[in-house]
Structure 1
Amino acid sequence: MASLPQTNRSLFFRYRRPRTVVHLNIADFAVAVERRVDHRLKDYPIIIAPEGSARAVIYDMSEEAFRAGVRKQMPLQNAIRCCPDAIILPPHPDRYEMAMTDILREVLPYSPLIEPGDMDGHLFIDITGTSRLFGPPVDVAWRMYQVIKKNLCFAPVWSVSPNKLVSKVASRLVKPNGEYIVGEGEEAAFLAPLPLYLLPGMERDDLLKFRELNLGFVHQAAGLTNDQLSVIFGKRAGFVFDTVRGIDVSAVLSADQKPPKIIADHGFGNDTNEVDVVERVLYQLVEKIGLTLRKTGKAARLLAIVLDHSDGVRRVRQMSVSPPSANDMSLFKTARSVLYMAWTRRVRLRHIRLICENPVFPPAQMDLFPDPVLQKEERLIKAMDHIRNRFGQDMIHMGRALAS
């Protein structure tokens, strides 16, 4: 969720137009789709996981399986021990994509600003300013629920609030069935009694830092000033300050306006925890992203890494690139730092993904005293791009990207 600089926050809230954001959440979406296809699955514990793989992890599970201890990304063998009576089905991404398309079609008449999740049954709908057409926001949300239930046989949880952050938390409180309405100006009071782990965007490291201070609830964290949070969280202080107060100015994007990102990933044939192997693969991923950035004339300002361990645990970390860059060597320094932020377990790695979020145009102003080392790196990368464009991508490599 986006946050505002402290100096601009008061002006924003003085002149902004009140917003209304609806959040629809079809609990256990993949299971709901499978039950719509086969009604005999209703009320049975369902586990969705790839078939025929010894290392399969849980894609989704029903509420019955969840109560038995099954969790997403859990190894399938462990899940079966938790819930031996479960019916195991393979994932059908085509079905889930089609179901999301059907849901979008049902709610599109109410607003063009609909931000869907990634085939997971989540949607944010901004209905700000539509009261004259469709009536009060709560009535609009109720009609969306009714039309989806009638036409598609889904029963989504729904919530209404002034922003995406609060709407998402409200939906979490009433999952798997129910609705919640949070009015304008009630955001902070609504969040105050809740545990911090319910807040979207709160990472595990954030919660650990709060725990060290014996803080576990939102109202306790909201008692800290921005300066105090800066000591604890550094650059994330602004985000934490806004989040615990229910402040979220991020816009609801239309379905065709997802934030741009460049993704490169690698699956290890044999799970590994060898530093040299992982760093070599990471540099190869950096080269792919760097090449795409340079071709589009963009620069990375934020890199994120997703690590999947062999036991099904996933770790995600990110870091800003300052200044924004498309230089492979500069990007690798940041990517390497993010890698070791995420890679804190001894369990072997199965898969690594590098993500460049929201690439930007490079800074227009040239440095008054340019770094000669950086200039040399830029010339080298430009020469390598020229060779690859003329003779092929495999004609020249950096030594650190080659297997020893």
Structure 2
Amino acid sequence: MYFIRKIIHIDMDAFYASVEQRDNPQLKGRPVIVGGDPSSRGVVAACSYEARRFGIHSAMACATAYRLCPQAFFIRPRFDVYKTVSHQIREIFFQYTDLVEPLSLDEAFLDVTHNKLGLSSATQIAQQIRTQIVHVTGGLTASAGVSFNKFLAKVASDCNKPNGITVITPDDAPAFIDQLPIRRFFGVGRVTEERMLNLGIKTGADLKKISLERLVQSFGKVGAYYYHIAHGRDDRPVQPNRTHKSYGKEITLTSDIDDTHQMIVILDDLARKVADGLRREDRQGLTLTLKVKYHDFQTVTRSVTFPEPITSSSTIIAAVKKLLANTDAGKIKVRLLGITVSNFLDAQQNSNGWVQLPLPFKDPDKNCWPDNDRSW
């Protein structure tokens, strides 16, 4: 017998759009798009399930969404309202456990292995939480995934949306992972999916056949992540004080520009905002990334890693100028610019200098202890 965590992933259903439909009954059952003006440069922040039937999804240009569904209702985001509702939901979580790791306003991980109510069934807790959310928020629904690690809990929460629950026990996990399409693996985007398909990897069963060495050779460090999750291994704990892995600012321009001097002015302002934000959060990182989106929506990034932490806007803008020169900005018109700092260092220093945060994976077989409760 060995220790098995009981982890729940709660994911609100079409959160922003559902809040708008709740607050305006005339929008219920209608395609709702939360985002910018379709006649401007805005993008879709969220959309209702009615809108998704037209092929609309988050991060899509609002102009494109309008062409797909001209009868949709376009609504400006009300983040103050969404934050208030998010706070109500988190208060429910804390009734059961203090081990709550928010991922965004509308989703979070909960470790309920040892919970405040002494309940042995994580499934029962997930059901109670979902019922309370409906009651407290005036009808908003959430989907839940229940499993023994974060990867499986997150995948499970998306299996029975909206307003559903999926439980993956340790006994169920191998068969579940084997049949899972590779695109459903958290962390596998469109580009990675294409690369995997080219290697003959279509499902979890296919991924499981590939050796650790080959995956690392093909995908770099993240290859180890793919190897572990294909075998159901993910011992990352739920972290109540989880810190973001990057900090950045970006801006979508009101019109496409090809004047690099104008771009530098905009980037200088972003650099100051990023530097100020890092100081407020007391964060220091080594890697600086410039993001450029061209007028045709093609996005490129250019990065540089420093030997010492990035501390000032002058350091940021000096590096960004060089990174910008390594793009086609100016030759090609640009619609979006962004600056991000990542590769953060631990806040503690030792005599040898800065210590980086540990990698998320360890050998799960070396991190086990007795467990007598196998109920779900």
Normalising by the smaller structure, the TM-score range is 0.7 to 0.9
Structure 1 Cα separation of the partners of residues 171 and 261 of structure 2: 53
Higher mean C-alpha deviation, range 127-136 or range 72-81:
127-136
Structure 2 Cα separation of the partners of residues 297 and 23 of structure 1: 29
Picking from 340, 365, 373, the partner of 2:352 is 365
Contact 1:259/1:357 (8 A) holds in 2:
no
Who is 1:250 aligned against? 236
The aligned length equals 345
Higher mean C-alpha deviation, range 131-140 or range 172-181:
131-140
Quote the offset at 1:169 in angstroms: 0.8
Quote the offset at 1:103 in angstroms: 0.8
Structure 1 Cα separation of the partners of residues 244 and 272 of structure 2: 22
Correspondence 1:228 to 2:214 = yes
CA radius of gyration, larger in: 1
* Matched residue SS, 1:352: strand
Instruction: Summarize the alignment of residues 152-167 of structure 1 with structure 2, pairs less than 5 Å apart.
Output: 152=137, 153-167=139-153
Structure 2 Cα separation of the partners of residues 324 and 78 of structure 1: 43
* Matched residue SS, 2:248: strand
Picking from 97, 103, 114, the partner of 1:117 is 103
CA displacement 1:33-75 (0-9 Å, x = unmatched): 0111122221111122224852122221111111112222222
Identity %: 22
CA displacement 1:246-298 (0-9 Å, x = unmatched): 322222222x5433644344555653467787689768867876798799997
Who is 1:48 aligned against? 34
Picking from 121, 129, 132, the partner of 1:147 is 132
Quote the offset at 1:149 in angstroms: 1.4
Structure 1 residues not aligned, in runs of 5+: 1-13, 367-404
Letter in 2 for 1:258: T
* Higher strand residue share: 2
Structure 1 Cα separation of the partners of residues 193 and 352 of structure 2: 39
Instruction: Note closer, same or farther for the CA distance 1:299–1:36 as it changes in structure 2 (3 Å cut).
Output: closer
Contact 2:7/2:110 (8 A) holds in 1:
yes
Instruction: Note closer, same or farther for the CA distance 1:124–1:292 as it changes in structure 2 (3 Å cut).
Output: closer
Who is 1:377 aligned against? none
Structure 1 Cα separation of the partners of residues 210 and 260 of structure 2: 39
* Higher helix residue share: 1
Who is 1:138 aligned against? 123
Who is 2:370 aligned against? none
Picking from 21, 25, 34, the partner of 2:20 is 34
Structure 1 Cα separation of the partners of residues 236 and 202 of structure 2: 25
Quote the offset at 1:168 in angstroms: 1.1
Contact 1:209/1:232 (8 A) holds in 2:
no
CA displacement 1:162-213 (0-9 Å, x = unmatched): 1221111111221223210011354343221111111111233322321221
Instruction: Note closer, same or farther for the CA distance 1:54–1:65 as it changes in structure 2 (3 Å cut).
Output: same
Structure 2 residues not aligned, in runs of 5+: 354-376
Letter in 2 for 1:143: Q
Who is 1:181 aligned against? 167
Structure 2 Cα separation of the partners of residues 175 and 157 of structure 1: 6
Contact 1:324/1:360 (8 A) holds in 2:
no
Instruction: Note closer, same or farther for the CA distance 1:202–1:307 as it changes in structure 2 (3 Å cut).
Output: farther
Instruction: Note closer, same or farther for the CA distance 1:96–1:230 as it changes in structure 2 (3 Å cut).
Output: same
